[in-house]
Amino acid sequence: MMNICRLSVLSKFAKFGDPLVCNLRNAGKCTTPLHHRRTFKTHSRNLAYAKDLFLGQLNKDEVFPYPQIGNEELEEIKQLVAPVERFFSEEVDSAKIDQEGKIPPETMKGLKELGLFGIMVPEEYGGLGLSNTMYARLAEIISLDGSIAVTLAAHQAIGLKGILIAGNEAQKQKYLPKLASGEHVAAFCLTEPGSGSDVASMTTRATLSEDGKHYLLNGSKIWISNGGLADVMTVFAKTEVVVDGVKKEKITAFIVERAFGGITSGKAEDKLGIRGSNTCEVSFDNVPVPVENVIGEVGGGFKIAMNILNSGRFSMGSSASGMIKKLIELSSEYAATRKQFTKSLSEFGMIQEKFAGMALNAFVMESMAYLTAGMMDRPGIPDCSLEAAMVKVFSSEGGWICVSEALQVLGGLGYTKNYPYERYLRDCRILPIFEGTNEILRMYIALTGMQHAGKVLTGRIKELKRGNIGLALGMVGKKIKTSLRSSVDLGLTGKDGVVHPSLTESAKKLEENVQYFGSTVEGLLYRYGKTIVEEQLVLKKVADVMIHLYAMTAVLSRTSRSISIGLRNHDHEVLLTNTFCSEAFFKNNFWLTQLQKHAPENNDANIKKIAKEVLEKRAYICSHPLERTF
């Protein structure tokens, strides 16, 4: 009975709650006309999975059933994967690439022949024209060599993506065929010495020439992957734009060919990992760029840059899982054969734990990556930037831990250059850094969700603050109801359930977490309002909970499907799912408890104070224990 009541309340809220709240907000806004709005995302879908989690809602239709590809595509990918796999296992000498800091030309040639330079370029432009899902599948294999993976990613995930998503037909005709074939290599030039994500401090400028046919590009960009090889670059520069009669500096994206002249590449950086990839500084000195080479509109570069970056991240999940799967194979063989105390390593609990951890991580990453890729492949222009960011954060951090654990299994041997582990470890250290550092992505995840939840909840919170007793009582009532009810029901299980019954327990955990998360977010908005932007430690926890909620969803969805269609070893998947869900459940509960007001678990104030004292002196300030004798 109660459940039905609650459901009807929920549906009512979903249907009528929004307009009501909007009205309230608009009423408030009348006093401040022309409120500046940040259009951070496009509302292409009515439903958004990740964002609505912030409201404590679980839009199961978005993520259940687990996306799958058609039979034709399946055949195609199978045909593609085999030769790529063979190429990587037989012809790519990763150790040599790492040592020499260069991908040999014959390897590059092989990659080009396989069509790996134009995986996502439509077939009419000479590419393979594959979907995001298939791209993710190939990325799994490509990631076996970090240098090649980064070179290819810089080429097509960001380098030529601008032309692909925002270029006009002429630009596509002109550039894409050569880029897809690998005849030309692309690069993406955004970062500057004084400006990473902070675009406002960009100094590279493009000024229109007197005849109005060219832009003259001046400035320099750093850390450009493929900067030394690229023939075609997507360059972002500030241009003068007149908006409403006021001159403004706005960012514009340009296609710049090396052949235009005036481009110099610096010395390749000597890096910790991905040593075979080319990273260097690129300087532009009065480079004449024809006006036809502006991507999109003049002054519209910000959105393009954002879209390119947001769309390229999802594949990191499958890359990392591909790497871990390979490492599991390598290190498990060692663990099985190495004997200590008349037992093989694989019989020791602590070694077993490492393998279980690796399998769990690989499984979760894989699930998240293909769920997100599947969502992106839906018709329309779905906005999955939030989901993609979550995949990236989770897999880059999980990847680092797993590689380190795999190395640990081998002990000292893993530390030597005789084995590939140290190379993997160095290579994968870049994952949490590039394509948006994990810190920045966590902010993105949390703030995007907060913005979404805030829009819906502002009216209600304001009423509450104004002292609306009815609303307050309603909330108290709701809280009592949830505390009395043994479990939360958001519709994952039961009559209209989408989760396989054997995963009921895990699904319940997800539901409970989602509900708790929703109420916590509301509490945070109530407490901090828009100043939550300053509360990075709070946002970090919010993002972490969010990532784990999404991960739980992904594994539940995937395993439900696996059981239903009877995939081999699906009982192992059930095991992994249940293990991960209960682990994530505890973690989430802990973080959410920390987020409550005055939580004794929360050390944030102390952490900030420690950091402040250390940073003030820019040193570790404790006296040395041997400094003085009493």
Q: How far is the CB of 15 from other proteins (least distance, A)?
A: 23
Q: Using CB under 8 A, which of the segments 102-110, 157-165, 425-433, 459-467 binds other proteins?
A: 459-467
Smallest distance, other proteins to C-beta of residue 438, A: 11
Contact status: 436 vs other proteins (CB under 8 A): yes
Q: CB within 8 A of 305, min separation 6: which ones?
A: 190, 199, 236, 251, 253
**Min CB(62)–other proteins separation in Å:** 23
Query: Within 13 A of 543's CA, how many CA atoms are on the CB side?
Result: 28
- For residue 523, the SS3 value is helix
Applying CB under 8 A, among 268, 440, 475, 537 the residue interacting with other proteins is: 440
Pick from 406, 418, 414, 423: nearest CA to 94? 423
* Closest CB 187 distance from other proteins, rounded Å: 17
Please say if 91 is a catalytic residue: no
DSSP characters over 441-485: HHHHHHHHHHHHHHHHHHHHHHHHHHT-HHHHHHHHHHHHHHHHS
Residues 14, 533, 537, 575: which binds other proteins (CB under 8 A)? 533
Q: Reduced to 3 states, what is the DSSP secondary structure of residue 201?
A: helix
CB of 199 to other proteins, least distance (A): 5
Residue 573 structure tokens: 């998947």
Residue with tokens 């991908």: 103
String of DSSP letters for 402-446: HHHHHHHHHTHHHHSTTSSHHHHHHHHTTTTTSSS-HHHHHHHHH
165 or 533, CB closer to other proteins? 533
Q: Report, in Å, the least distance between residue 533 CB and other proteins.
A: 6
Q: Does 471 bind other proteins (CB under 8 A)?
A: no
Neighbours of 247 (CB within 10 A): 9
Residue 475 lies near other proteins (rule: CB under 8 A):
no
Give the shortest CB-612-to-other proteins separation in angstroms.
14
Beta carbon nearer to other proteins, 199 or 268:
199
Q: Which is nearer to other proteins, 451 or 482 (CB)?
A: 451
CA distances from 328 to 196, 306, 335, 411 (A): 36, 35, 10, 15
Asked if residue 528 binds other proteins (CB under 8 A), the reply is yes
CB within 8 Å of 19: residues ≥ 6 apart: none
Q: 46, 483, 486, 531: which one contacts other proteins (CB under 8 A)?
A: 531
Nearer to other proteins, 303 or 426 (CB): 303
Using CB under 8 A, pick the residue from 450, 499, 549, 595 that binds other proteins: 450
Q: Which of 87, 363, 370, 444 binds other proteins (CB under 8 A)?
A: 444
Q: Which of 15, 33, 35, 43 binds other proteins (CB under 8 A)?
A: 35
Question: Could you give the CA distance from residue 589 to residue 582 in angstroms, rounded to a whole number?
Answer: 11
Options 435, 511, 512, 522, the catalytic residue: 435
Binder among 347, 468, 529, 583 for other proteins (CB under 8 A): 529
- Within residues 182-211, the interface with other proteins by CB under 8 A covers 190, 197-200
Say which residue the tokens 């970062």 belong to. Answer: 191
Stretch that binds other proteins, among 27-35, 119-127, 177-185, 498-506 (CB under 8 A): 27-35
Binding mask 567-606 for other proteins (x = CB under 8 A): ------------------------------x---------
Please choose, out of 21-29, 92-100, 337-345, 394-402, the segment that lies near other proteins by the rule CB under 8 A. Answer: 21-29
Q: Would you say 181 and 126 are in contact if contact means Cβ atoms under 8 Å apart?
A: yes
How far apart, in whole angstroms, are the C-alpha atoms of residue 180 and residue 116? 8
Q: Which is nearer to other proteins, 190 or 554 (CB)?
A: 190
Residue 623 Cβ vs other proteins, minimum distance, rounded to whole Å: 8
Q: Smallest distance, Å, CB 190 to other proteins?
A: 8
The angle subtended at Cα 507 by Cα 506 and Cα 512, nearest 5°, is 100
566/371 Cα distance (integer angstroms): 19
Rounded to whole angstroms, the Cα distance separating 508 from 504 reads 6
Identify the residue among 305, 390, 554, 576 touching other proteins (CB under 8 A): 305
Q: Is 14 in the site for other proteins (CB under 8 A)?
A: no
E-assigned strand segments in 57-181: none
Tokens 């897809």 label which residue? 180
Q: What is the DSSP string of 238-255?
A: EEEEEETTEEEEEEEEEE
Is residue 526 part of the contact set for other proteins (CB under 8 A)?
Answer: yes
**Region binding other proteins by CB under 8 A among candidate stretches 264-272, 300-308, 400-408, 564-572:** 300-308
Does 525 sit near other proteins (CB under 8 A)? yes
* 498/603 Cα distance (integer angstroms): 39
User: What does DSSP assign to residue 292?
Assistant: G
Q: Check if the beta carbon of residue 156 is closer than 8 Å to that of residue 120.
A: yes
For residue 550, which of 347, 335, 392 has the smallest C-alpha distance?
Answer: 392
Catalytic residues: 435
Which residues contact other proteins (rule: CB under 8 A)?
25, 28-29, 35-40, 190, 197-200, 250-251, 302, 305-306, 309, 436, 440-441, 443-444, 447-448, 450-451, 454-455, 458, 461-462, 465, 525-533, 597, 618, 623, 628, 630
